[in-house]
Amino acid sequence: MLLRGILFTFAILLVCLLFSKDSAARAPEPPKPTRIIDLKNELCAEDLQQYNIPITGADFISNDELLVYTVCRIGSTVPANRDKFQASDLYHLKAVIVDLKKGVIERRFDWPTHGKGSGVRITHAGDLLLHRDNVLDLISADGHPIQQLQITRMSLDDNTFVSVSPTIDTIAVSQGSETATGPPVTSAAVYNSRNLHLLQYWRDNADVWSIGASTGTAVRSALRGKLLVMRKLSTGPWKTMRKENAASIGVPVFIDDDEFAVPARDATLLYTTDGQLQATLRCSIPFKAIVSREANALGAVWVKFAGHNPDPGRPKLTDAGIDIYRLPSLLRVTSIPINPPPSFGFDAAISPSGSKLAIVDHLSVSVFEIAHR
C-alpha cells in the first residue's frame, strides 16, 4: 500500500508539472506593435522639448490618421509678447499628422507659442483645438481656421488648463494663479467644442484644475481633503462623491453625457452623473483614462514609480501598461505592457472605432491592433 501511495503521489506531481508547462507554453504573448514611427527628425530633438504633461501628445483624427505634438525651443532670444504669437518666439508648438497605414507624414504644423502649457487636441467632431496661453483656436483637420477665443485672465500669472472631451462636444477650461496668496481662486468655463460658444462659467476656491465636463455636468478632483466632486453646470453647488486617504484622483473623462471614468488610488472608476459608482476596474497605479471617440473602448493606463516618494517634477517609471475594455460591456480584451518603461510625459490614444492603440514616448509612436471581442 505504501508503494502504491508513493507511485500515485508521483503520478499526480508529474501530471501537474506537465500541465503547468503546457499552460505556460500556451499563455498568450503580449501584443506587439504593428508599426513604430520615429518622429525625432519631424518635431525636434528631445533635449529641446519643453516640459509638458504630456511631453509629447497624441490624438487620433481618423482610424488611420494620428496627430502628434510637442513644444520645442527653437533657439531665438526675442522676448515674447503676451497674447501675441510671432515666428520669432522662443517656443513653437509643432505637430504632425501621420498616415499610419503608410507610415508617412501627411501634414505638418508649426505654431509660435510662449512655452509649456500649450497643446493641440482633437475634438469630438474631428477638428483641432489649439491651446496657447489663454488663446484657443479651433482649426479643421486640413488647417483652415474655424473660430478663435481669447479667455480673460484673472491675473497675469494665471495658467490656463484645457480638457477636450473625445466623446462629447465640450471643452473644459480652468484658470488659477500659482503665485496667489491666501485661499486659492479658480475660474472655470465649459465651451461647445464645435464653435467655442460658452455653455457655463463660474468661480470658486478649487485648488486644482483637473476638470472634465459633459453638456450638463462638471466633475473635478481637489487636493484639500482628497475629494472627487461634481456639480450641475447650471445650478451647482459642488457635491462630494468620493474621499481618498492620498492625493490619488486623476482627471475625469466622460464616456457619454451621463457617465465618466476617473483614475483613483488603485482602480479606474466609472460613475454616473447621478453619483452612482457603476464599475471598479482594478489596476496597479492608475495614471489616466482614455476613451475612443465612438465611446466603444476604454483604456485604463497604469504606471509604477521608482521608490515610494516619486519626484513631483519628473518621476521615474519602472513599469507601465494599458488595459483595454470594450464599452459598454467592460469586457477586458487585452493588456498591453509598455516596454521599456516610458518617460513620465508619455501619452496614449485609442482610434475612433476602438481598433487601434497608439503610444507615444521619446518622440516615437508605437501602434497596436486591438481585437474586437
Taking only the tens place, the pLDDT of each residue in 34-80 is: 999 999 899 999 989 988 889 999 999 999 999 999 999 987 666 66
Question: How far is 169 from 154, CA to CA, in rounded Å?
Answer: 26
Decide which of 359 and 75 is more confident. 359
Of 16-20, 135-139, 146-150, 161-165, the poorest mean pLDDT is in 16-20
User: Using CA of residue 71, residue 77, residue 79, residue 85, what is the dihedral sign?
Assistant: negative
Instruction: Say if residue 166 is preceded by a cis peptide, omega within 30 of 0.
Output: no
* The pLDDT of residue 26 is above 60: no
* The pLDDT of residue 179 is above 60: no
The whole-number pLDDT of residue 134 equals 86
Question: How far is 298 from 57, CA to CA, in rounded Å?
Answer: 18
Decide which of 118 and 205 is more confident. 118
Supply 268's cell numbers.
479606474
Give the phi and the psi of residue 331 in degrees, each rounded to 5. Answer: -75, 125
pTM: 0.86
Beta-carbon-side half-sphere exposure of residue 94 (alpha carbons within 13 Å): 21
Decide which of 300 and 317 is more confident. 300
| Nearest to 37, CA basis, from 122, 105, 106 | 105
Q: Is residue 273 a contact partner of residue 239, using CB atoms and an 8 Å limit?
A: no
| Nearest to 225, CA basis, from 243, 209, 205 | 243
Q: What domains can be seen in the chain, in order of their start residue?
A: 30-369 (2.130.10.10)
Structure confidence at residue 5 as a pLDDT band (50, 70, 90) = very low
